């Protein structure tokens, strides 16, 4: 997270509502400038005993960050400690219990995204082998309790850890024990954003099912295909969920701004420190009535920080974020952007996808969100059949979209091949969670062999 600036030009005070909406409006760009951003988290563990390393210990998370500097990554400091890195491939950062994240650069093709992921994972393996660390691609720690996990020295996480138990039962699990893959995509206009938001929100449960990969808790089956997804249903209802208003007439930048204003605050960042504002109102901040900063008005960076503390299944900033997928293996990192780019970056595919979901009711959306974490591909589709049937239809639409994009690598291949893992799941009905459950024989130790990078 960048530090707040005191330059009124770069980081002005917010004095008009138009400044709130401008963050979304300014994100609109012509199709030739659309880019693909991919984020992926993984669990870090000691090769010797599978323990999650702490920040400070020799060969731990701090040393992992420092080891990455040899590849040109530059440190980002907080409180005198390196807590992230920035470089040509984006940013490396830490989730609350040391989950290691690449937030990739905005790229033109999925070929480039996959190459970026390859570089990153090769760097992780090189440094990890020196430090005795491994990296696990899963949506939820298969064997760790909360108490077994370290906490990273980031100020915002201290505030969040204190606030989470006040608003949900599973928020600490979200912070400490989950990993995800995320794709960030652009839009051309407000109308384009609205259609993309509606399609991706409606189909986010399908994405969750296809990427379901968190069936174990503390060494035993937990009854879910995506326990990570279930966790979000009891984390904080004020800032999570499927946002029914997205499908209502009149939805656009203004309506999302109203939603974000009603999301309770977590913090304000000032002079290199996080000020606890958990549960307070950004509307009061706009009026100069925030109790922890009386008389002070927010700056644009405060609004952008606040937008990052809402966690719906699809999130709007100056781009759209697809947030429904569990963490997973290398081919899943490339498959997620392939799915959403194929659906959203080709107008014919976008219209076809909307035709599939436009008749779904609010009850359909809510039921899917509730059932998919447990049932995965066998959840009932609103259009009839199961999500396995829906997946075949949707993947065909995405495949056609990628074919029309015709973005080729040096070998002349299109981006369609990155959908292969998802096509196999749609054909078999078996997610990675199903396969892991089939192999379970009383211990989850095998996962470190099969799901590590």
Question: Cα 233 to chain center, whole Å?
Answer: 15
Query: What does the domain layout of the chain look like in residue ranges?
Result: 34-263+310-450
Which pLDDT score, from 0 to 100, does residue 204 have? 98
How far from chain centre, in Å, is Cα 385?
Answer: 29
Coil, strand or helix at 270: strand
Q: Specify the DSSP class assigned to residue 316.
A: E
The pLDDT tens digits of the residues spanning 21-73 come to 999 999 999 999 999 999 999 999 999 999 999 999 999 999 999 999 999 99
DSSP line for 83-117? EEEEETTEEEEE-TT--EEEEPPPBS-HHHHHHHH
| pLDDT > 80? residue 241 | yes
Rounded Cα–Cα distance for residues 160 and 175 (Å): 9
CA distance linking residue 283 with residue 171, whole number of Å: 24
**Confidence band for 4, pLDDT divided at 50, 70 and 90:** very low
Instruction: Share the mean pLDDT of the chain.
Output: 97
Contacts of 156 (CB under 8 A, 6+ apart): 1, 266, 267, 274
- Summarised one tens digit per residue, pLDDT across range 313-342 is 999 999 999 999 999 999 999 999 999 999
Q: What are phi and psi of 350, to 5 degrees?
A: -60, -45
The structure tokens listed for 79 are 């409180």
What is the C-alpha separation between 154 and 114, in angstroms, rounded? 29
* High-pLDDT (> 70) share of the chain, %: 98
| Domain 34-263+310-450, second-level architecture | 2-Layer Sandwich (3.30)
Pairing label, strands 314-316, 320-326: antiparallel
Q: How confident is the model at residue 10 (pLDDT cuts 50, 70, 90)?
A: confident
- The reported pLDDT for the residue numbered 9 is 58
| Rounded average pLDDT over 358-386 | 98
Where would I find the H helices in 136-292?
Answer: 155-167, 171-177, 190-210, 227-231, 253-262, 282-286
Q: Are 38 and 91 in contact (CB under 8 A)?
A: no
Count of Cβ atoms closer than 10 Å to residue 329 Cβ? 20
**Cα 58 to the chain's mean position, in Å?**
30
pLDDT surpasses 60 at 3: no
């Amino acid at each position: 997270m960048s530090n707040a600036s005191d330059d009124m030009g770069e980081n002005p005070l917010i004095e008009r509502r138009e400044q709130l909406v401008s963050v979304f409006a300014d994100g609109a760009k012509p199709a030739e400038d659309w880019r693909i951003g991919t984020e992926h988290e993984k669990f870090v563990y000691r090769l010797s005993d599978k323990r999650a390393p702490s920040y400070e210990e020799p060969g731990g998370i701090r040393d992992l960050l420092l080891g990455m500097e040899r590849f040109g990554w530059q440190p980002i400091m907080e409180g005198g400690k390196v807590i992230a890195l920035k470089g040509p491939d984006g940013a490396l950062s830490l989730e609350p219990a040391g989950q290691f994240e690449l937030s990739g650069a905005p790229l033109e093709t999925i070929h480039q995204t996959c190459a970026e992921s390859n570089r990153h994972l090769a760097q992780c393996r090189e440094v990890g082998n020196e430090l005795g660390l491994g990296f696990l691609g899963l949506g939820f720690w298969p064997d760790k309790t909360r108490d077994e996990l370290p906490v990273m020295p980031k100020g915002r996480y201290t505030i969040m850890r204190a606030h989470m138990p006040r608003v949900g039962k599973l928020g600490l699990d979200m912070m400490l024990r989950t990993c995800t893959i995320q794709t960030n995509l652009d839009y051309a206009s407000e109308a384009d954003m609205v259609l993309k938001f509606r399609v991706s929100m409606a189909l986010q449960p399908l994405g969750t099912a296809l990427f379901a990969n968190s069936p174990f808790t503390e060494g035993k089956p937990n009854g879910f295909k995506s326990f990570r997804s279930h966790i979000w249903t009891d984390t904080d209802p004020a800032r999570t969920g499927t946002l029914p208003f997205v499908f209502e007439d009149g939805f656009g930048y203004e309506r999302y701004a109203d939603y974000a204003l009603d999301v309770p605050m977590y913090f304000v960042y000032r002079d290199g420190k996080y000020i606890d504002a958990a549960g307070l109102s950004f509307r009061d901040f706009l009026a100069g009535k925030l109790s922890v900063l009386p008389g002070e008005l927010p700056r644009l960076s405060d609004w952008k920080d606040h937008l990052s503390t809402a966690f719906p299944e699809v999130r709007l900033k100056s781009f759209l974020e697809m947030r429904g997928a569990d963490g997973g293996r290398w081919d899943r990192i490339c498959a997620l952007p392939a799915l959403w780019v194929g659906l959203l970056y080709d107008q014919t595919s976008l219209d076809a996808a909307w035709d599939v979901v436009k008749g779904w009711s609010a009850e359909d959306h809510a039921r899917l969100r509730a059932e998919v974490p447990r049932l995965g591909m066998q959840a009932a589709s609103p259009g009839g059949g199961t999500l396995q049937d829906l997946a075949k239809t949707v993947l065909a639409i995405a495949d056609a979209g990628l074919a029309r994009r015709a973005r080729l690598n040096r070998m002349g291949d299109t981006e369609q091949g990155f959908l292969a893992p998802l096509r196999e799941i749609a054909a078999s009905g078996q997610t990675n969670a199903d396969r892991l459950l089939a192999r379970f024989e009383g211990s989850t130790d095998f996962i470190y062999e099969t799901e590590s990078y």
